[in-house]
Structure 1
Amino acid sequence: MALSTHRRLHSFLLMCCSSFKRSGLRQFSKVAGEKPPRQMPREKPALRRRNPGGGGYPLLIIPLTTFGLGTWQIQRRQWKLNLIQELEDKMLAPPVPLPENLDDLKQMEYRRVVVKGTFDHSKELFIGPRTNTNEPETMGSARATSVGVHVVTPFKLSDRNETILVNRGHVPFVARPPELRREGQVEGEVELVGVVRLSERKNLFGNDPLKDGYWLSRDVEDMADIAETAPVFIDADLKSTVKGGPHGGQTRVQLRNEHLTYIITWYVLTILTLWVWFRNYRSVKPHASVVDFIKREHRKL
Structure 2
Amino acid sequence: MSRPIFSAFRAAFRAGGAPLRPRTSPRSAFNFTAGLGAGAGFTFGSRHASTVVSTSMRSTLFRPITILLAFAPILCGYLGVWQVQRLKWKLALIDEIDHNLTKAPIALPPHVNMSALPDFAFRRVLLKGRFRGPPILQGPQTRDGIAGYHLIVPFDRSAEGGSTVLVNQGFILTAEGDAIREGRKPCPGLGANGGPGDEVVIEAMLTKIDHDAKSYFVPENKPEQNRWFWKDIPDMAEWVGGEARGVQPVLVDVIDHGDSGVPASLRMANGVPVGRPPQIELRNQHMTYAITWFSLCAATTVMLGLVIRSGRAKKIPNRRRPFGRP
* In 1, Cα distance between equivalents of 2:18 and 2:142: 93
Match of 2:253 among 216, 226, 235: 235
SS in 1 for 2:239: helix
Q: 1:150 to 1:28 in 2, by over 3 A?
A: closer
Distance apart, 1:263 and its partner CA: 4.5
What pairs with 1:247-286 in structure 2 (closer than 5 Å)?
247-249=274-276, 263=294, 266-281=297-312, 284=314
Match of 2:91 in 1: 85
Asked whether the equivalents of residues 156 and 163 of structure 1 are also in contact (C-alpha less than 8 Å), the reply is: yes
Distance apart, 1:184 and its partner CA: 6.4
Asked whether the equivalents of residues 66 and 267 of structure 1 are also in contact (C-alpha less than 8 Å), the reply is: no
Give the partner amino acid of 1:284.
Answer: K
Q: 1:105 to 1:215 in 2, by over 3 A?
A: farther
| Structure with greater contact order relative to length (CA < 8 Å, sep ≥ 6) | 2
Q: 1:274 to 1:155 in 2, by over 3 A?
A: same
* In 2, Cα distance between equivalents of 1:166 and 1:218: 12
Distance apart, 1:102 and its partner CA: 2.4
* In 2, Cα distance between equivalents of 1:149 and 1:195: 19
TM-score (norm. length: structure 1): 0.63
Q: 1:20 to 1:217 in 2, by over 3 A?
A: closer
Cα-to-partner distance string for 1:250-284 (whole Å, 9 max, x where unaligned):
77759996766754654454333322221223x63
TM-score (norm. length: structure 2): 0.59
Identical pairs, percent: 16
Match of 1:113 in 2: 124
Give the partner amino acid of 2:307.
Answer: V
Cα-to-partner distance string for 1:11-47 (whole Å, 9 max, x where unaligned):
xxxxxxx714236669999xxx952674763378997
Cα-to-partner distance string for 1:126-164 (whole Å, 9 max, x where unaligned):
1021112xx2xxxxxxx2xx3111110112347652111
Asked whether the equivalents of residues 116 and 159 of structure 1 are also in contact (C-alpha less than 8 Å), the reply is: no
Match of 2:214 among 180, 201, 210: 201
Instruction: Work out which of the two has the higher radius of gyration on C-alpha atoms and give 1 or 2.
Output: 1
Higher helix share: 1
Give the partner amino acid of 1:249.
Answer: R
Distance apart, 1:207 and its partner CA: 4.3
Q: 1:285 to 1:168 in 2, by over 3 A?
A: farther
Give unmatched runs, 5+ long, in structure 1.
1-17, 136-142, 288-301
* In 1, Cα distance between equivalents of 2:11 and 2:153: 117
* In 1, Cα distance between equivalents of 2:141 and 2:10: 103
* In 1, Cα distance between equivalents of 2:148 and 2:256: 17
Match of 1:224 in 2: 237
RMSD value, Cα = 4.7
Match of 1:152 in 2: 152
Give the partner amino acid of 2:275.
Answer: G
**Aligned positions, number:** 254
Asked whether the equivalents of residues 108 and 196 of structure 1 are also in contact (C-alpha less than 8 Å), the reply is: no
* In 2, Cα distance between equivalents of 1:175 and 1:102: 35
Match of 1:50 in 2: 53
Match of 1:167 in 2: 168
Distance apart, 1:64 and its partner CA: 7.2
Is residue 2:84 matched to residue 1:70? no
* In 2, Cα distance between equivalents of 1:286 and 1:53: 12
